[in-house]
Amino acid sequence: MRAGIGYDSHRFADGRRLVLGGVPIPHEHGLAGHSDADAVAHAITDALLGAAGLGDIGAHFPPTDERWRDADSIRLLEQAVGLLSERGFSPVNVDVTVVCEAPKIGPHVPAMRARLARALGVEPDAVSVKGKSNEGMGWIGRGEGIAAMAVALVDEG
Ligand code: MG
C-alpha cells in the first residue's frame, strides 16, 4: 500500500458553472480555471499520482494543452487511474476535505461520492468527502475561492 496527498485551489469567477467532485452545484459563481476547475477532482488526481510516484496533474494535463480547455475533470481523474493501472496500482480509498464558506458541501456529498467512486473503480464507501468552513479567515473566509485537500491510498498489486 502507498499513500499520496493532493491539494488544489481555484478562485471564484462569474459566468462559470461550479463543479465539485464531478457534480454540478448550483451557486452564484463557478471557479476559474483552464478545465472545469473541479478542485476536488484535481486534488484527488494529485493524491493518486503522488501515491504512485507519477508526478503531478500539471505534468500530465498541462494547462497549455487545448484538449483540457473546459474539460470535465472526471476525465482527467479517469486518465490518472489508467496511468496508475498501467503500472500495477489500483485505488483503495480516498478522503477529501473541501474548504469554503459557501456553498454548503454536505448536501452534495452523496452525489460526489457516487460520481468519484465510479471514476476510481471503487465502492462509494471508499470515497469520503467532507466540507469545512474557514471560520471567516483569509481568502477562503472572504469567499474568494475554494480549496480541497485529498489523501489517497493505492494498492500495488
Ligand atoms: Mg486545479
Is the whole model's pTM more than 0.85, yes or no?
yes
Look at residue 65 and tell me whether its pLDDT is greater than 90.
no
pLDDT in tens, 75-100: 999 999 999 999 999 999 999 999 99
| Amino acid found at 46 | D
Q: What is the Å distance from ligand 1's center to 14 Cα?
A: 17
Do residues 147 and 44 lie in contact, with contact meaning Cβ atoms separated by under 8 Å? no
Q: At CB < 8 A and 24+ separation, what contacts does 78-81 make?
A: 78/119, 80/45, 80/48, 80/49, 80/54, 81/48, 81/119, 81/120, 81/121
Q: CB within 5 A of ion ligand 1: which residues?
A: 8, 42
pLDDT in tens, 4-16: 999 999 999 999 9
Spatial neighbors of 36 by CB under 8 A, at least 6 apart, are: 17, 19, 70, 71, 72, 73
Q: Which domains does the chain have, with CATH numbers?
A: 2-156 (3.30.1330.50)
pLDDT in tens, 85-138: 999 999 999 999 999 999 999 999 999 999 999 999 999 999 999 999 999 999
Q: What is the Å distance from ligand 1's center to 36 Cα?
A: 9
| Amino acid found at 75 | R
